[in-house]
């Protein structure tokens, strides 16, 4: 679904695409009475989170990368609903709305300043021209990948811990694909930052001559959302995750599906695996792009080799 950037920010962050998640949360009392439906919801959500993240790895449109990250985060919300933690799903929905709106509106500022250019391959070196937009994209990306103490961390890590604490086959399946999706999310988020701002300049001269950062009227909403991306998760976490919280008292969970306490006593290694995957994704992205800048011939040969080319086309064409 394509549209103007402010419309994309609204429908991807807060309204249209999350309506299905919200419906599942509101119908929790119905879903709780059917284990087979919960199983199906968990499997579909986990597959969605991983496959959408893998498709985002090789997209070259600035907005399309952010859009596929939305699909991936929806997968997280769906599979944790399937594991009977609806309030955590709604918490991630609210957190995601803040930093995803920030990312889309920041992307809009870049597209506006670059004469409507959206191709990541035709950007690069924009850090000095778009310092404010760069800062906003970086904050939004760090919140998206679940950097500790930013908004995305509190809900995303809780989701993966709850999946691991189920100690069932479907819980382990969701945890494994969720961690794999975290690796992909980190990879394409840093790829977007590197290709847009840090790589050598790869744009047309006429675009760069007229390039400019956004005016204050466009930047002010970004500043508000950036504060939300930094502090919102920290300030609201106890309303949702704390035991005995009645903040979402319309959500129903059967007592035998509730394992919030179990997740607190997981091994530290299990708790830190998503963060390790996230760091690996960022480092791998940096190394790959550095390798491309140093030895373009080697990377082009790799891209055109038969197994990698098929893999690239499969994911790029969705």
For residue 290, give the H/E element and its range: helix 268-294
Q: Which residues contact 288 (CB under 8 A, 6 or more apart)?
A: 299
Per-residue confidence (pLDDT) for residue 168, from 0 to 100:
92
Q: 6 is written with which tokens?
A: 């402010």
Rounded Cα distance between 277 and 259, Å, is 24
Rounded Cα distance between 22 and 81, Å, is 10
Quote the DSSP letter at residue 83: T
Task: For 119, list phi and psi in degrees, rounded to 5.
Answer: -80, 120
Per-residue confidence (pLDDT) for residue 31, from 0 to 100:
93
Q: 44 is written with which tokens?
A: 């579909």
Beta-bridged to residue 241, according to DSSP, are none
Quote the DSSP letter at residue 198: I
Contact present, 143 and 99 (Cβ < 8 Å): yes
Per-residue pLDDT of the chain (318 residues; tens, 9 = 90+): 577 878 888 887 778 888 999 999 999 989 999 999 999 999 999 999 999 999 999 888 899 999 999 999 999 999 999 999 998 999 999 999 999 999 999 999 998 888 888 888 888 888 888 999 999 999 999 999 999 999 999 999 999 999 999 989 999 999 999 999 999 999 999 999 999 998 888 888 877 887 888 889 989 999 999 999 999 999 998 888 877 676 676 787 877 787 777 888 899 999 999 999 999 999 999 988 877 777 777 777 777 888 888 888 888 888
Per-residue confidence (pLDDT) for residue 200, from 0 to 100:
84
Q: Coil, helix or strand for 135?
A: helix
Distances (CA, A) of 277 to 174, 184, 208, 271: 15, 9, 36, 11
Quote the DSSP letter at residue 16: S
CA dihedral 277, 99, 237, 274 (to 10 degrees): 0
């Amino acid at each position: 679904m394509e549209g103007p950037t402010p419309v994309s920010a609204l429908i991807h962050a807060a309204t249209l695409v999350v309506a299905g998640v919200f419906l599942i949360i509101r119908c929790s009392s119905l879903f709780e009475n059917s284990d087979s439906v919960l199983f199906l919801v968990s499997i579909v959500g986990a597959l969605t989170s991983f496959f959408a993240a893998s498709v985002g790895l090789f997209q070259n449109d600035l907005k399309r990368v952010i859009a596929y990250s939305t699909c991936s985060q929806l997968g997280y919300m769906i599979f944790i609903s399937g594991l009977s933690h609806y309030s955590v799903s709604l918490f991630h929905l609210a957190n995601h709305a803040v930093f995803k709106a920030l990312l889309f509106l920041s992307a809009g500022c870049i597209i506006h300043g670059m004469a409507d250019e959206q191709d990541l391959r035709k950007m690069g070196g924009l850090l000095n021209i778009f310092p404010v937009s760069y800062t906003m994209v970086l904050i939004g990306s760090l919140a998206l990948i679940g950097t500790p103490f930013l908004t995305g961390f509190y809900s995303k890590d809780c989701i993966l811990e709850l999946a691991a604490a189920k100690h069932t086959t479907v819980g382990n399946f969701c945890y494994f694909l969720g961690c794999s999706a975290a690796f992909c999310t980190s990879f394409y988020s840093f790829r977007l930052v590197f290709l847009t701002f840090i790589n050598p300049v790869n744009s047309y001269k006429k675009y760069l001559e007229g390039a400019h950062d956004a005016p204050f009227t466009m930047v002010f909403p970004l500043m508000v959302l950036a504060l939300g991306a930094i502090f919102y998760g920290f300030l609201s976490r106890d309303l949702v995750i704390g035991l005995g919280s009645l903040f979402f008292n319309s959500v129903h969970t059967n007592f035998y599906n509730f394992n919030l306490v179990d997740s607190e006593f997981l091994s530290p290694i299990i708790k830190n695996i998503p963060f390790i995957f996230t760091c690996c994704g960022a480092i791998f992205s940096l190394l790959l792009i550095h390798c491309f800048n140093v030895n373009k011939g080697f990377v082009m040969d790799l891209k055109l080799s038969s197994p990698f080319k098929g893999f690239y086309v499969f994911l790029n064409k969705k």
